[in-house]
Structure 1
Amino acid sequence: MDLPNLDLLSHVPQRWLEVAEKYLKAIPQVRSRLDKETGTVLAHLEKRLKPYKGTLPSFDRLPAQGRPRDEVLRELEGLERREETRWKEGHVSGAVYHGAEDHIAFVNEVYALHSQSNPLHAELWPSATKFEAEVVAMTANMLGAAEANTGLPPEQHICGSLSSGGTESIMLAIKTYRDWAQETRGITRPEMVLPISAHPAFDKAAHYFGVKSVRVPVGTDYRADVAGMRRALTRNTILLVGSAPSFPHGVIDPIAELSELARKRGLGFHTDACLGGFVLPWAKRLGYPVPPFDFQLPGVTTMSADTHKFGYAAKGTSVVLYRGQALRSHQYFTATEWPGGIYFSPTFSGSRPGGLIAAAWATLVTMGEAGYLEATGRVLETAKALKEGISAIPELHVLGDPLFVIAFGSNTLDIYKVMERMGTRGWDLNGLHKPAAVHLCVTLRHTQPGVAERFLEDLRAAVAHVRENPGEKGTMAPVYGMAGTVPFRGLLSDLLKKYMDLLYKV
């Protein structure tokens, strides 16, 4: 996609750009050109996203007669074999965090035993609530609850619930703060202050719950700017946010300073430890430099930590934690006037998959402290070798000082072309922007013999190819470049919505 020179627009106020974009999109010739350009991009994406089209049966309505189960199982097994190679060989960033066959088999067996259970019906499946309560308690104690609870009555202890993933954990926390601030402080136009590196789940929560998201630029070390976030506070601020670590750059924000700022102002503070919650406590015990980030800090009032990432549980569970039951109570929903009876639910979902809750519990109790220490040691040793290898490539530099999520960019090459070239060698990496970079989230898959060495070998070859072929445009690299430079946010948003439409296309 050929992009115009956008440098002249970089200092134009965003509200002016939004007005200009609205009028430009209304011009038929402009609209036609945009549709043509996005159509080209989507046609290319469809080939990658719909590889089974025309080769496997597809259904846009129920078959008149159900297919034989053995036939369906054979088809599913074939799809699994076709798709598992890349992640099993460690060619992806994040995505699958454990992946050993015996671990997967065990988790699947646990899920099968409890596939019909549902904590909505606690009297039928008390095991589901037992598992959930214990997963929350184990996670809380891993994240400083024992120290935080000392000398306090039970109702003030660290508590929480399970959610479907990090995004829901974050959204539950923001919804909770909104309701808490309205009830206790009378705030009806709530705001939260967070660094630009914080996960977009916070913006999603802001969108759904009417909370203004105030984003503050990070410092040169890619960590949250404490002074900048202090200046962004207003009478409507209800909470501050920090990441441990941030998804883009893998660095830990100054949680101690930020949470103390929140505590002194009587505000909430959320540590997003979705990525690091099941890594950092063990990294600290292994002697790595981990700054304080959890409930041992009195200003931290909520946290999120994903059991389905480095907790190694099956996909679909995360933990959201609160400093005390009074705060958590604002997360709950109750209905007392419904003709169908009294209704209540702790999270957004009503029915919830008890099988996933059981699988999370079984994973934590079989891993144990020793298992997490061993796994974390392997991940961090591999990450150290990768960070050193990337830094040794003259054209590349590592952003900040990460532990296990390694972002790297280039001052001389188009890093997106490097990423795309790595794609031709089977690697699936994450493209970042502002600044342009690529990252690799190191998991147990990368600790397998030879994987880190193969990554560095392929990266050196990709860099050499891009350096020696500067005129080569690539196919997706221009799209990543557009995401970081186009000032018209609506254009990019429109493209993303069409991408999601494509996912639902039969």
Structure 2
Amino acid sequence: MERMDGEQKSSSWQDGQLSGAVYHGGPELGKVIVAAYERYLVSNPLHPDVFPTIRKMDAEVVAMCLRIYNHPSGAGTTTSGGTESIIMSVKTHRDWARTVKGITEPEIIIPASAHAAFDKAGDYMKVKVHQIPVDPETRMVDLAWVSRAINPNTIMLVGSAVNFPDGCMDDIEGLSALALKHNIGLHVDCCLGSFIVPFLDDAGFPTRPFDFRVKGVTAISCDTHKYGFAPKGSSVIMYRTPELRQYQYYVNPDWAGGVYASPSIAGSRPGALLAGAWAAMQFIGRDGYVASCRSIVGAAKSIENSIRTEIPELYVLGNPMASVVAFGSKDASLNILEVGDKMSKKGWHLNALSNPSAVHIACTRLTVPVVGQFIADLKDAIQEAKSAPSGTGNMVALYGLGNSSAVGPTMVGKLAAAFIDTLYLA
């Protein structure tokens, strides 16, 4: 294992050549989290009578997030990550709609740019998912299409603040008006925006209404393990009312082992992760998150500006508001995925996108000192892709296959499943 870790250091995450993935709050915070983890190593919030401190930390993490999102009288729970937060919200709105509105064939409406976790939730929870196109220029979901898609079975709309593919924010106020008109839920996915978007205004960047101050918003997901710098496995799902949250719970009063009740999918949960999240939020504090937002979004804005003004071959998708910048090729002869593969050879781990074909970087604290290197390497990668395209890199091969024919996505799916299989080869 030591040898494997040593080999990985040749392309280390500490170098900052990584899109998202590692949200490092610094070595001092790392020590604080480790100390919290060690102290509460065996704790389990399933047993609040045995671990009352963890119960309090769990509640306070949720309460702090509710304050950040401007609704301290709301309700929520912690989860294992953004995917579980989203699944829980879909389950909650499904059960609410069945009880209150009598809907037995539930449907949700999401932007095409929404996180795949909503499709996953629909698959798990047997909820039909309608994907609505986004405007090619603004990258915001088309509200007219959303309005036409709403029907008697609709239980919830979805908007992102911000979305994963290109870092743009949907028109949450517009979605809110539709949700209120039809008495349906509105989930705002802030998993990636997390501890960036709520602090944009304080950090001096433009923003738009997106949180519980928008009346139609019924749920918000926020990943504390992203820009909150909590240890991985930490997220929060928030609701406008405690009454709505009750539809998330699983309660079985008739089990032979006694009354069983849990707030989310998991039964036993790692209290040490909750302690780490609580410690991170206490350690950094509001001023720390504002400063972090200022530096990270500043790095993203610098990258965006350099692409717009210095690299004529590329264009930036939409108007990214936070930490993500996605870029595509203006030149039909320049394959942006080839550029991505050339960047990989320079040590960068970036994300390939489809529809449209593009590449993005999600900036973190680690990106801040290497912005200049990123732009220089990107310019070189473009020239290399023009002069000597290989057509054999991972991005070109995988995403090119997906767009190659009607069966391309199925073939990519089989490759992805085979890849997961290999992860479990001991």
Q: Name the TM-score class by shorter chain.
A: over 0.9
Structural mapping, 1:237-276, within 5 Å = 237-276=154-193
Q: What is the one-letter code of the residue matched to 2:358?
A: A
Any idea what the Cα deviations from partners look like across 1:69-109, whole Å, max 9, x if unmatched?
Answer: xxxxxx44x54454355211101000112252222222112
C-alpha contact (below 8 Å) 1:143/1:277 kept by paired residues: no
Who is 2:317 aligned against?
399
C-alpha contact (below 8 Å) 1:88/1:99 kept by paired residues: no
Any idea what the Cα deviations from partners look like across 1:447-483, whole Å, max 9, x if unmatched?
Answer: 12xx11111111111100011124x222321212222
In 2, Cα distance between the equivalents of 1:386 and 1:188? Answer: 47
Measured after TM superposition, the shift of residue 119 of structure 1 is 0.3
In 2, Cα distance between the equivalents of 1:279 and 1:367? Answer: 13
Q: Structure 1: 5+ residue runs without aligned partners?
A: 1-74, 147-156
C-alpha contact (below 8 Å) 1:193/1:239 kept by paired residues: yes
2:277 to 340, 355, 360: 360
Any idea what the Cα deviations from partners look like across 1:295-342, whole Å, max 9, x if unmatched?
Answer: 001100000000000011000000000111111001001111111111
In 2, Cα distance between the equivalents of 1:360 and 1:316? Answer: 9
C-alpha contact (below 8 Å) 2:203/2:291 kept by paired residues: no
Q: Of the two, which has the highest radius of gyration?
A: 1
Any idea what the Cα deviations from partners look like across 1:27-62, whole Å, max 9, x if unmatched?
Answer: xxxxxxxxxxxxxxxxxxxxxxxxxxxxxxxxxxxx
Q: Give the stretch that moved more between structures: 360-369 or 385-394.
A: 385-394
1:124 to 39, 50, 57: 50
In 2, Cα distance between the equivalents of 1:352 and 1:486? Answer: 44
CA 1:484/1:303 → structure 2, altered by over 3 Å: closer, same or farther? farther
- Provide the alpha-carbon RMSD of the alignment: 1.3
C-alpha contact (below 8 Å) 1:434/1:484 kept by paired residues: no
Measured after TM superposition, the shift of residue 180 of structure 1 is 0.8
Structural mapping, 1:59-98, within 5 Å = 75-76=1-2, 78-84=3-9, 86-98=12-24
Q: How many residue pairs are counted as aligned between the two chains? A: 418
Q: What is the one-letter code of the residue matched to 1:439?
A: H
Q: Give the stretch that moved more between structures: 427-436 or 84-93.
A: 84-93
Residue 178 in structure 1 maps to residue 94 in structure 2: yes
Structural mapping, 1:371-390, within 5 Å = 371-390=288-307
Measured after TM superposition, the shift of residue 485 of structure 1 is 4.5
Q: What is the one-letter code of the residue matched to 2:328?
A: G
Residue 278 in structure 1 maps to residue 195 in structure 2: yes
In 1, Cα distance between the equivalents of 2:4 and 2:37? Answer: 21
In 2, Cα distance between the equivalents of 1:358 and 1:81? Answer: 29
Any idea what the Cα deviations from partners look like across 1:229-283, whole Å, max 9, x if unmatched?
Answer: 1111111000000000010010000001101210111000000000112111211
Residue 332 in structure 1 maps to residue 287 in structure 2: no
CA 1:295/1:312 → structure 2, altered by over 3 Å: closer, same or farther? same
Who is 1:323 aligned against?
240
In 1, Cα distance between the equivalents of 2:373 and 2:336? Answer: 19
2:139 to 203, 206, 222: 222
In 2, Cα distance between the equivalents of 1:137 and 1:500? Answer: 37
CA 1:367/1:81 → structure 2, altered by over 3 Å: closer, same or farther? farther
CA 1:486/1:106 → structure 2, altered by over 3 Å: closer, same or farther? farther
DSSP-derived class of the 2:382 partner: helix
Who is 2:412 aligned against?
492
Residue 309 in structure 1 maps to residue 234 in structure 2: no
Q: Structure 2: 5+ residue runs without aligned partners?
A: none
In 1, Cα distance between the equivalents of 2:4 and 2:414? Answer: 31
DSSP-derived class of the 1:289 partner: coil
DSSP-derived class of the 1:285 partner: coil
In 2, Cα distance between the equivalents of 1:373 and 1:396? Answer: 31
C-alpha contact (below 8 Å) 1:433/1:483 kept by paired residues: no
DSSP-derived class of the 1:180 partner: helix
Q: What is the one-letter code of the residue matched to 2:31?
A: A
In 1, Cα distance between the equivalents of 2:297 and 2:52? Answer: 38
Who is 2:328 aligned against?
409
Q: What is the one-letter code of the residue matched to 1:172?
A: M
DSSP-derived class of the 2:61 partner: helix
Q: What is the one-letter code of the residue matched to 1:408?
A: F
DSSP-derived class of the 1:308 partner: coil
C-alpha contact (below 8 Å) 1:436/1:484 kept by paired residues: no
C-alpha contact (below 8 Å) 2:398/2:412 kept by paired residues: no
Measured after TM superposition, the shift of residue 411 of structure 1 is 2.7
Q: Give the stretch that moved more between structures: 478-487 or 451-460.
A: 478-487
DSSP-derived class of the 1:357 partner: helix
1:481 to 391, 400, 414: 400
Who is 1:26 aligned against?
none
C-alpha contact (below 8 Å) 1:93/1:428 kept by paired residues: yes
2:359 to 422, 438, 442: 438
Q: What is the one-letter code of the residue matched to 2:107?
A: E
In 2, Cα distance between the equivalents of 1:249 and 1:314? Answer: 25
In 2, Cα distance between the equivalents of 1:106 and 1:298? Answer: 38
Who is 1:421 aligned against?
342
In 1, Cα distance between the equivalents of 2:365 and 2:7? Answer: 21
1:467 to 371, 382, 386: 386
Q: What is the one-letter code of the residue matched to 1:372?
A: Y
Q: Give the stretch that moved more between structures: 348-357 or 487-496.
A: 487-496
In 2, Cα distance between the equivalents of 1:135 and 1:79? Answer: 35
Who is 1:159 aligned against?
75
In 1, Cα distance between the equivalents of 2:379 and 2:411? Answer: 35
Q: What is the one-letter code of the residue matched to 1:455?
A: F
Measured after TM superposition, the shift of residue 430 of structure 1 is 0.3
Who is 2:372 aligned against?
453
Q: Give the stretch that moved more between structures: 94-103 or 191-200.
A: 94-103
Who is 1:505 aligned against?
425
Measured after TM superposition, the shift of residue 167 of structure 1 is 0.3
In 2, Cα distance between the equivalents of 1:483 and 1:249? Answer: 20
In 2, Cα distance between the equivalents of 1:313 and 1:435? Answer: 33
Q: Which runs of 4+ in 1 moved over 6 A?
A: none
C-alpha contact (below 8 Å) 2:44/2:54 kept by paired residues: yes
In 1, Cα distance between the equivalents of 2:209 and 2:16? Answer: 31
C-alpha contact (below 8 Å) 1:86/1:426 kept by paired residues: no
Q: What is the one-letter code of the residue matched to 1:223?
A: M
Who is 1:15 aligned against?
none
